[in-house]
Structure 1
Amino acid sequence: MKFSVVIPLYNKATYVRDTLQSLINQTKLPYEIIIVDDKSTDDSLKEVMTFLKKNFNRLINIKVEVIRLEENRGVGYARNIGFKQTTGDVISFLDADDVYDKNLLKVTERTMQEHSIDFLILGIQLFPSYQIYPKISKIERELEQLNQELYTFKKPLKTITSHNFYMGLGSNVIIKRKLGEKVKYIEENIFYQGIDYWYRVMRTMLNHGNTNIGLLMGNYLKVRIVQGSASRKKYKTWIDIDIPPVLTRFKDSKDYFDRRLKGVVSSRWIKHALSNLESRSEKFKFILHYKRLFLNQCHYFFLHKF
């Protein structure tokens, strides 16, 4: 298997060396690394170029491409550009502050080949908190265990639209290239765009009759908790909080799973907004403005969360 890893890069000078190091430390090296610099304003690009130069001998068998965007367009745009340039047959996105365990690509290759898996979701370990998601104990009745670390889904759409599941956090999916060719990230910098993207990729896959979806636990993807990241961003006004694309894309959908996902996303989004708005008055304005959305979607979510 030829693994292409796409790294969207924006102002991650402090962390990007660790991310790149985790790739050259792999027991199975990636075939290709594509770094898309989204017009960083810090030393991110300098750190990348220094790392590549310093580790030239270890990168000699890896195709490396650095793309410099002329303007800041957001992580979705950077991922789309990166995917378009890939030439491998297995694709993953790796955020520039996260790291892969040294055995991830080797284990992924064995897993995908032995079990004919085309869409592999990775369990994640947050650091430095060491919390692990998803919590298998919460969803074990919905899974079939294939080995100590690998599971398949009895009803994939039911599980991934559960409030106990996380897909899109830390770009925790590895796919066969063919699955992602017709689906694009939303290119506006919108919260929860990863959930929207991977859900659409999975739906496209399932609509074509392919159900080879796996969940790999084992702490192979480590997601860094960074101050100032989208999930920890503070807002002065409720207007500053973008609506997640799932809520607008499936606004009028009658599909059962679309509506389940809307309920999960709305619940997380509302919690995020109320936790990160700086004043009580702005929290009240947020609730007032989205009252109908909040009541309708949360009502459906609580009805169907089991």
Structure 2
Amino acid sequence: MISIVIPVFNRKEYTRDCLQSLRNQTNQQYKVIIVDDGSTDGTENMLREEFPEVEILKGSGSLFWTAGVNMGIRHALKQDAQLIMTMNNDVITDKHLLEKMYEWHEKKPAALLGALELDANTKQPIFGGERLNWLLNTIDEVLPTLSEDEQKGLHAVTHLPGRGLLIPRVVFEKIGLFDQDRFPHYIADYDYTHTARRAGFELYVNYDAKLLTYPEESGERQIRSEKNFKNYYKHLFDLKGGGNLRDFTRFTLKNCPKPYIPFHLANGYTRRLFGYFLR
């Protein structure tokens, strides 16, 4: 059985839609653990009234994504969970998501598996994984390289996002939990999957398992939606800023091969300092 860990803070309508989509899964071998980090919009009451099967853990209001996910994972591991999936509440699961995750897990039992992401509004594929080349300091997207007929099965990647990420228990036993001290919110998922890959685990995007997402709802997209000095500061220094310089520095020092660190940092700082105004 897959234990699905979902951290939430308010936005109960997204949580409701996500949980309802899970109820429609063709494979019902799952349980949901919600980590509610101090929601004030009635999320807890909604969960207890409409989704009594969901297990609720309470946070203090200061967990952010990584500590919230870790709380749920610890709880699932204590319950002897063998498969854990991290998921954001602002996604809709395709009804075959878990069925297709189980199918490929049987073939790759120690691999970490992500899902193909579709735009929830257009239903078109928008993200199918990335491959980071440390030497060239480039990130190549997998999806644009594939024909429509090739958009199926597993495709190897170098890292994976935490929304819809299937992680076997053996991974936690070998490398531990997400690094909430260094990466309290953004980039913790990329750091964790890079760490897993260095430890010998394979990473794939499962193109047969699909998630519908809302790209414009990300914190970084909202910061970029109106370009001004306040948002520029958030982009570089806020915990939810996609260009957070501290997180990028920590990520590079922890994961980048040592000979490439100076170039990777210089390139990355340049992109973050100036790229905000170009995109």
Superposition TM-score tier, normalisation by shorter sequence: 0.7 to 0.9
Identity rate of aligned residues, in percent?
19
Per-residue deviation, 1:225:
3.2
SS at match of 1:42: coil
**C-alpha displacement of 1:101:** 0.9
Q: Which residue of 2 aligns with 1:250?
A: 252
TM-superposition CA deviations, 1:240-296 (whole Å, max 9, x none): 3332624224238544787898689767755774369xxxxxxxxxxxxxxxxxxxx
Closer/same/farther in 2, CA of residues 76 and 83 from structure 1, 3 Å limit: same
Deviates more, 1:238-247 or 1:74-83: 238-247
Tell me, in whole angstroms, the C-alpha distance in 1 between the residues paired with 2:32 and 2:113.
Answer: 19
Q: SS of the counterpart of 2:113?
A: strand
Runs ≥4 residues deviating over 6 A: 256-265
Aligned to 2:191: 196
Relative to 1, partners in 2 of residues 1:19 and 1:250: Cα closer, same or farther, differing over 3 Å?
same
Verify the 8 A CA contact 2:65 2:185 in the aligned structure 1.
Answer: no
Residue 237 (structure 1) shift: 5.6
In 2, are the aligned partners of 1:22 and 1:101 still within 8 Å (CA)? yes
**Number of the residue aligned with 1:41:** 40
CA offset at residue 20 of structure 1?
0.7
Give deviations 1:39-75, integer Å, cap 9, x for gaps.
112222222222224xxxxx4xxxx320111332211
Cα distance 1:148–1:74, how it changes in 2: closer, same or farther (>3 A)?
closer
Equivalenced residue count is 246
Q: Which has the larger radius of gyration?
A: 1
Shift, 1:30, TM fit? 3.7
Flag the 1:229–1:30 CA change in 2: closer, same or farther, 3 A.
farther
- Give structure 1 stretches of 5+ with no counterpart: 54-58, 161-166, 277-306
Tell me the SS of whatever aligns to 2:3.
strand
Cα gap change, 1:244 to 1:90, in 2 (>3 Å): farther
How far does residue 196 in structure 1 lie from its aligned partner after superposition?
A: 2.2
| Structure 2: stretches of 5+ with no match in the other structure | 129-140, 238-244
Per-residue CA distance 1:109-132 (angstroms, 9 max, x = gap): 111113445211222112224342
Give the corresponding residue for 2:12.
Answer: 13
Map residues 12-31 of structure 1 onto 2, 5 A cutoff: 12-31=11-30
Give the RMSD, CA atoms, in angstroms. 3.4
Matched position secondary structure for 1:14:
helix
CA distance in 2 between counterparts of 1:140 and 1:261 reads: 28
In the TM superposition, 1:214-233 aligns within 5 A as: 214-218=204-208, 220-227=210-217, 229-233=219-223
Q: TM-score normalized by structure 2?
A: 0.73
**Equivalent-residue separation in structure 2 for 1:43 and 1:83 (angstroms):** 24
The one-letter code of the counterpart of 1:127 is: A
Matched-pair contact (CA < 8 Å) for 1:193–1:244: no
1:5: Cα distance to partner? 0.1
In structure 2, the residue corresponding to 1:132 is in which secondary structure?
A: strand
